[in-house]
A and B are shown apart, each in its own frame.
With several copies, the nearest count.
Chain A
Amino acid sequence: ARILIENINEKCFERCVPKPGSSLSSSEQTCLTQCMEKYMQAWNQVNATYIRRIQ
């Protein structure tokens, strides 16, 4: 799970915090939460498709 968390942080920080300010704004926080949920869904789906393919 560590690699997944690292990737989520990297991709979502890149997307959601274009100009880092003195604190996370509420829209940045919302984006980070949604991005995390979306990334985990994407990972689940990629995983399932990939496993199906290599079987």
Chain B
Amino acid sequence: EHRSRIQSQSHELTAICWKKCITSTIKSGQLDKNEQTCLSNCVDRFMDANLATIKHLRNMRQQ
């Protein structure tokens, strides 16, 4: 079950980051350098935002 949640999260992240990073007309079957960098940053920043939300919610509850 843990494994399948990781997989489904991976599919969702791919959809989110595809929309943000692959924005120009498709002219090749290869990701270019900018797209690669954008995709990695997208996953990392999404995880940062995720952690910040959880932390913020925990602080709000403790107040």
A and B touch in the complex (CB under 8 A): yes
Q: Which residues of A contact B (CB under 8 A)?
A: 3-5, 7-24, 28-29, 31-39, 41-43, 45-47, 49-51, 53-54
* Pairwise interchain contact B39-A45, C-beta atoms closer than 8 A: yes
Total interface residues on B, CB under 8 Å, equals: 42
Residue ID in chain A nearest B52 by CB atoms = A32
Q: Given contacts A33-B52, A53-B47, are A4 and B20 in contact (CB under 8 A)?
A: no
Number of CB contacts from chain A to chain B under 8 A: 124
Q: Which residues of B contact A (CB under 8 A)?
A: 6-18, 20-22, 26-31, 35-36, 38-50, 52-54, 56-57
* Pairwise interchain contact B45-A15, C-beta atoms closer than 8 A: no
> Chain A residues near B22 (CB, 8 Å)?
38, 42
